[in-house]
Amino acid sequence: MTTTLLGAAACSTIDVASPNASTALAASAFNTVPAGVNEVTSSYAAGDGVSLTPWMPDRFSGGPLGMAFGGFAGGDGGVGGPGMRGLMGGGMDGAFVGGEARGRGHERGPFAGGIDSSCVYSAATGDVTCSPTTRSGLTVTRVSTFKTASGTTQAQPDSTTDYSRTRIVVTGTVARRDSVTSTVRSNSERVSTGLAYTSTKVTVNGASSGRENSAGTNREGKKFTAARTSGDTTVSLVIPRSTAGTPSYPTAGSVTRSMKVILTIEGAAATTTTRREVITYDGTASAKVTITTDGTTKSCTMPLPRGRLVCS
């Protein structure tokens, strides 16, 4: 009997006018990041296939409502939402949880930044500016600055590079095949020091923001508009140089991540939901995580490297 009831629910139309249903749909937006955030530097594990696609509110979006209506399992410890290992936006980029080994030199770490053959160095400003690229409707501009430990600017990074500053801006319009269209603007700035070959640790500071304004019709046949914003700030993150090729996770610093969703679906009142995550590293093998969703806060820990959230 239970299976029959769940099956019937999975095939039914959601009553979006219900406050609980509308809130759950809006909260499912935390599963991913606004389109274009994958192109900037941030703590979000934004994969190309997801983050180039606008989010659409429906019963297949994951999270609590998705679970009730035959979607993925939700909850802070589940993959279905709000993100991988319980963190929103697909989870955290591997460099922030010990998913990558950081060896010696600028080319051995995930925080150094790089350039391509289109990039041009200006001795007057010390900046390296790369030609804009366009992909899937998004235009990406990138400007970097590289310096030695003594402060000398460089046309390109090499074994003496100790400092990297990267600024990225993403703008454009992306669309789904099912009529959802989004205007996008994302930007980021990241500064990494301690990149030189002889360095024993790298220190990272940075920030990013993303905005996605969407309109369309969901799979339930309801017109909707959605405004999603995301951001993160990295402060004094310290990652020791890896030894023996083992993953090296942060031992100091913090990352603050936030997201806000304003959703209006035809036949229902506008719904606003917010989520904030603060990850603090204290030199132990577990990061402290504080999660606040719509004003309700809980404390968690995240074993390193690549552990799953445990919340009280």
Burial class (CB in 10 A: 0-12, 13-18, 19+), 7: exposed
Helix (H, G, I), strand (E, B) or coil at 227: strand
Render the burial of 177-205: b for 16+ CB within 10 Å, e for the rest: eeebebbbbbbbbbbbbbbbbebeebbbb
- Three-class DSSP category at 267: coil
Kindly tell me the burial class for residue 120, based on how many C-beta atoms sit within 10 Å of its own C-beta (0-12, 13-18, 19 or more): exposed
Report the relative pairing of strands 127-135 and 138-148 from DSSP bridges. antiparallel
Say what the pLDDT of residue 99 is. 67
pTM higher than the cut 0.75: yes
- For residue 87, how far is the Cα from the chain centroid? 10
Q: What is the pLDDT of residue 20?
A: 60
> For the chain, how many residues are written?
312
In contact, 280 and 301? CB cutoff 8 Å: no
Task: Annotate 62-112 with DSSP letters as a single string.
Answer: -HHHHHHTTS---STTSTTTTSGGG-STTSB-GGGTT-S---SSGGGSTTS
Per-residue pLDDT of the chain (312 residues; tens, 9 = 90+): 333 322 333 334 445 455 566 777 888 888 888 988 989 999 998 654 445 677 888 765 544 333 332 222 223 333 234 544 588 888 888 889 886 555 444 455 567 777 888 999 999 999 999 999 998 889 999 999 999 999 999 999 888 899 999 999 999 998 877 688 999 999 999 999 998 888 889 999 999 999 999 999 888 888 999 999 999 999 999 998 876 667 788 999 999 999 999 999 988 889 999 999 999 999 999 999 999 999 999 999 999 988 888 888
Q: Report the pLDDT value the prediction gives residue 119, as an integer from 0 to 100.
A: 95
Residue with tokens 């339930």: 220
Q: Phi-psi region for residue 116, left (φ > 0), alpha (ψ -120 to 50) or beta?
A: beta
End-to-end Cα separation, the chain, in angstroms: 34
Burial of 292 (0-12, 13-18, 19+ CB in 10 A): middle
Q: Where are the beta strands (DSSP E) in 122-180?
A: 127-135, 138-148, 153-154, 161-175
Q: What pLDDT, in 10s, does the model give residues 131-143?
A: 999 988 899 999 9
